[in-house]
Structures are given as structure tokens and as C-alpha cells.
């Protein structure tokens, strides 16, 4: 039967690929962001309201030298993750990721979806879009200039769908990609109380899958089985408990797969953003590094708003890794404005040699 040999995780925020001297440029984007969440109560606020309630000590971290130090630490950790991935050299990867206005919209937005077509195409970022800020243009370089027809392990994809259904998960399935994707998200509930529209355009692999492929897969192309989770958008966003249970069910399915494949679990996203919330970041990281499923399953929902919900990608991965503890390679609270906007940037791995 197949076996899980390792797990890999990283944030995929633009700060992971935006040089420290440019972090301030990304902060300029925050002043227009309608998805800023105040950490103490989970309330959506404006930039000015966030600034008014921010810890004054945050302003001391808004310094180019500090930005560069954090960016360099992130690159060291990503390079170590890349080296480890190359050394493990898995036969197959099962990936957990979310979709943010990429392939799924309010016409049909499943909580859990498995893609099992033969190829999942990655397209480089379109950096000539007028609405794209300078910071995002710089950060987009990590996605390269190459179109990648990434191989999919279709037999495992089908097996995962069947096994998850047998374990009472209502799973959507996809076998091919449309020429274009577009649509609207919102309004839905108090958090997402506005409509966001994406004009139909060519769209390939979602960024949660593309960042690992482009940044730390070391040029390797082990066939993937991608599982998309709706972490970000109400009303049917996944709960922490369900995300962890999904991971456990995926582990059981992999171990029941009639193959001798060496499988790696891969995820990306989070941690807290677009406002840094060190409390929820550190609570999640403690659960990950201690393999505490109960703690991960009970992360407070009011803290999991906006894109901070991508922490649940890591929770699903932890469920798939069983009792193995994650090794944290770095955690950098990526403050980029006095208001506390930014991202909790983390890199981690699960290896059997860590002691489990």
C-alpha cells in the first residue's frame, strides 16, 4: 500500500517573494483593502480604524532593515524546504489549497473539491494588468514565465474521491479545465458584505498550488492530487474541525491505495493576513508542532476571518500527517504598516526522522 513519507508547508503571501526593501510598497495596498480584520474581536474595519487600535510598538518594526532581516530569514527557510523536498523526492504529492476568485465563484463554490484530470496547467502571472500594484508585480516573479502542464495522478484522485465519499465527505470533482474562469464573490454574511467581480480570463492552477510548484519543488514534477478547500468565503467555508477530519480521512485513503507510491503531503497559505495576528498564528503553530489535533480542531472561528482562514490548509495537512509533529523552520510576523497589516509568514515540514 502507499505510504506518507513527509509533509511540507509554507505561506505564499507576496511577502515571501517581495524583497524587504519593497515591503513598504505592499503596505500602500492595505489602505484600500476592504478585508482588514481587527485581531482582538474579529471585526472587519477600515485601515484608519485598525491604525487607531493598533499596538504602538508595531510602529517600531516598520523599518527597512527589519523588513530585510525577516525576508532573508524567510528565504533561508524556503531554501531549506526546497532542499528537503528534493532529498525526499516523493513519487506523488497530495496538495491542500484554497481558491481565491480563481476557478470558483458564487455560481458553484464547493467546500471540498478534488481535481483528477490528467493535467493541471500553470500560467504565469499577468503582470500587465492596470489594477496590479507595483509590489504585486515584483512579487509575481516567483511564478516564473513558463507555462507548466503539471501531471496529475488521476488514479489517486479518483481513489480519494471514492474513499472520502465512503467516509461521509460530500466531495465535488473536476476532470478538466475551462478555457476561461470568472464570476462574482459576495455579498455573504457580515464579513463579506460586498460584491467582488472577476472578468472571465484564462486561469490555471490556483496560487495555493502554484507557489510550492514554482518556489520550492526544486524543478521536480511528481504527479499531484490537488484538493481544494473553501477556507476563505462564507457561508460554506470549512470549519477547523472539519478541515482536520478531512486530513485524517485523506491519510486513511492514501494508506488504503493499492500502490507502493511514496506520497508527500503539501500545503501553502496563511498564516494571519491581511492583519498580522500573532496570537492565532502562535496557537496554530503550537498545535502543529505538538500534533495536537484537539487544539487545531478548536481554533476560534472569530479569529479565522479574511485570508487568515488559510491556516486551515495547514490544519488539513496536520490531520493527514497523523501523530507526526511539524518542525517549524521559521515564523516571521510580517508587519508592514503601523496599523499591523501584513502577514504571519511561516515555513514548516514533517519528517519521520523528527521523532514523530
- Asked if residue 110 belongs to a domain, the reply is yes
180: number of Cβ within 10 Å: 10
**Cβ burial, residue 14 (10 Å; 0-12/13-18/19+):** buried
Asked if residue 92 lies in contact with residue 153, where contact means CB atoms within 8 angstroms, the answer is: yes
**What was the pLDDT predicted at 296?**
99
Asked if residue 190 belongs to a domain, the reply is: no
pLDDT at position 162: 99
In a domain, 96, yes or no: yes
CB 349 within 8 A of CB 8: yes
Tell me how many domains the chain contains.
1
Contact 351/327 with Cβ under 8 angstroms?
yes
Q: At what angle do helices 240-255 and 154-166 cross, to 10 degrees?
A: 120
Q: What is the pLDDT of residue 141?
A: 81
Please count the helices (runs of H) and the strands (runs of E) in the chain: 10, 14
State how beta strands 148-151 and 119-122 pair. Answer: antiparallel
Residue 135 cell numbers, joined: 509590489
Contacts of 129 (CB under 8 A, 6+ apart): none
Alpha-carbon distance of 195 to 231, in angstroms, equals 18
Range of the domain at 71: 3-179+206-354
- How confident is the model at residue 190, as a pLDDT? 64
Q: Do the domain assignments include residue 254?
A: yes
What separation, in Å, do the N-terminal and C-terminal C-alpha atoms of the chain show?
21
Q: What is the CATH number of the domain that holds 242?
A: 3.40.830.10
**Is position 126 within any domain?**
yes
The pTM of this model reads 0.96
pLDDT at residue 355, rounded to an integer: 44
> pLDDT tens digits, the chain, 356 residues: what are they?
999 999 999 999 999 999 999 999 888 889 989 889 999 998 989 999 999 999 999 999 999 999 999 999 999 999 999 999 999 999 999 999 999 999 999 999 999 999 999 999 999 877 667 767 887 888 788 888 889 999 999 999 999 999 999 999 999 999 999 999 999 998 876 667 789 899 999 999 999 999 999 999 989 999 999 999 999 999 999 999 999 999 999 999 999 999 999 999 999 999 999 999 999 999 999 999 999 999 999 999 999 988 999 999 999 999 999 999 999 999 999 999 999 999 999 999 999 974 44
Residue 193 lies in a domain: no
Cα pseudo-dihedral 24, 28, 30, 33, rounded to 10: -160
Inside any domain, residue 327? yes
In a domain, residue 41? The reply is yes
Residue 189 region by backbone torsions, left for phi larger than 0, else alpha for psi between -120 and 50, else beta: left
Amino acid at each position: 500500500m502507499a505510504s506518507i513519507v513527509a509533509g511540507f508547508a509554507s505561506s505564499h503571501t507576496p511577502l515571501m517573494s517581495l524583497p524587504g526593501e519593497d515591503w513598504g510598497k505592499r503596505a500602500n495596498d492595505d489602505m484600500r483593502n476592504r478585508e482588514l480584520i481587527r485581531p482582538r474581536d474579529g471585526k472587519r474595519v477600515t485601515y484608519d480604524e485598525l491604525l487607531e487600535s493598533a499596538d504602538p510598538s508595531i510602529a517600531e518594526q516598520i523599518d527597512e532593515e527589519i523588513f530585510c532581516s525577516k525576508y532573508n530569514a524567510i528565504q533561508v527557510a524556503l531554501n531549506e524546504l526546497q532542499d528537503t523536498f528534493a532529498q525526499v523526492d516523493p513519487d506523488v504529492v497530495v496538495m491542500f489549497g484554497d481558491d481565491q476568485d480563481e476557478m470558483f465563484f458564487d455560481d458553484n463554490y464547493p467546500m471540498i473539491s478534488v481535481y483528477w484530470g490528467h493535467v493541471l496547467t500553470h500560467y504565469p502571472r499577468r503582470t500587465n494588468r492596470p489594477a496590479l500594484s507595483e509590489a504585486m508585480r515584483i512579487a509575481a516573479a516567483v511564478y516564473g514565465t513558463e507555462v507548466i502542464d503539471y501531471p496529475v495522478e488521476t488514479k489517486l484522485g479518483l481513489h480519494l474521491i471514492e474513499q472520502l465519499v465512503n467516509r461521509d465527505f460530500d466531495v465535488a470533482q473536476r476532470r478538466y479545465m475551462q478555457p476561461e474562469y470568472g464570476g462574482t464573490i459576495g455579498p455573504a454574511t457580515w464579513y463579506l458584505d460586498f460584491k467582488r467581480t472577476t472578468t472571465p480570463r484564462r486561469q490555471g492552477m490556483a496560487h495555493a498550488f502554484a507557489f510550492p510548484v514554482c518556489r520550492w519543488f526544486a524543478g521536480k514534477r511528481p504527479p499531484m492530487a490537488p484538493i481544494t478547500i473553501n477556507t476563505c468565503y462564507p457561508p460554506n467555508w470549512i470549519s477547523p474541525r472539519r478541515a482536520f477530519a478531512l486530513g485524517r480521512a485523506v491519510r486513511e485513503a492514501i494508506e488504503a491505495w493499492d500502490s507502493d507510491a511514496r506520497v508527500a503531503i503539501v500545503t501553502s497559505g496563511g498564516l494571519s493576513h491581511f492583519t498580522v495576528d500573532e496570537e492565532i498564528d502562535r496557537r496554530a503553530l503550537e498545535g502543529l508542532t505538538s500534533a495536537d489535533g484537539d487544539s487545531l480542531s478548536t481554533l476560534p472561528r472569530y479569529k479565522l476571518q479574511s485570508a487568515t482562514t488559510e491556516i486551515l490548509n495547514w490544519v488539513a495537512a496536520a490531520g493527514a500527517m497523523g501523530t507526526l509533529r511539524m518542525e517549524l523552520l521559521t515564523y516571521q510576523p510580517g508587519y508592514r504598516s503601523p496599523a499591523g497589516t501584513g502577514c504571519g509568514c511561516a515555513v514548516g515540514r514533517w519528517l519521520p526522522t523528527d521523532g514523530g
